Amino acid sequence: MPTDPLEHLAQQLEHLEQQGLRRRAAEPPEAGALSFCSNDYLGLGCRPAPVAASGAGASRLIAGERVEHRRLERAFATWLGVEDALAFTSGYAANVGTLSGVAGAGDLIVSDALNHASLIDGARLSRARVVVAPHGDVDAVARALAERSEARAWVVVESYFSMDADGPDLVALRRTCDAHGAGLYVDEAHALGVLGPQGRGRCAEAGVVPDVLVGTLGKSFGSQGAFAAGRTVLRDWLWNRARSFVFSTGLAPVCAAAAVRSLHLVIEQPDLYVSVRARSARLRAGLVAAGAVVGSTLGGATSPQGASDEVPRLLGFGHIVPVVLGTPARALWWAERLRALAVQVLAIRPPTVPAGGARIRLTVTAQHSDEDVDRAIEAFASVLRTERGEAGS
In the residue annotation, 39 being an active-site residue is answered as yes
Phi-psi region of 260 (alpha: psi -120 to 50; beta: other; left: phi over 0): alpha
Pairing of strands 226-230, 84-88: antiparallel
**Which burial class, exposed, middle or buried, applies to 84 when counting CB atoms under 10 A from its CB (0-12, 13-18, 19+)?**
buried
In the residue annotation, 162 being an active-site residue is answered as yes
Of 69, 95, 112, 116, catalytic: 116
Of 137, 187, 372, 387, catalytic: 187
CA distance 245 to 88: 6
Nearest in space to 353 (alpha carbons), one of 301, 295, 305:
305
In the residue annotation, 126 being an active-site residue is answered as no
In the residue annotation, 158 being an active-site residue is answered as yes
Amino acid letter, 204: A
* Peptide bond before residue 322 is cis, with ω within 30 degrees of 0: no
Asked if 189 and 162 touch (Cβ cutoff 8 Å), the reply is yes
Query: H or E stretch including 249?
Result: none
Of 84, 100, 111, 219, catalytic: 219
| Residue 343 backbone dihedrals phi, psi, to 5 degrees | -125, 110
CA distance 189 to 256: 16
DSSP summary character for residue 327 = S
Q: Is the dihedral of CA 381, 387, 390, 392 positive or negative?
A: negative
Is 166 strand, coil or helix?
coil
Residues contacting 157, CB < 8 A, separation 6+: 111, 112, 115, 168, 170, 173, 184, 185, 186, 187
Residues contacting 103, CB < 8 A, separation 6+: 109, 123, 126, 128, 152, 154
In the residue annotation, 116 being an active-site residue is answered as yes
Of 112, 137, 158, 188, catalytic: 158
Residues contacting 134, CB < 8 A, separation 6+: 113, 140, 299, 300
Amino acid letter, 326: G
Active-site positions read 39, 116, 158, 162, 187, 190, 219
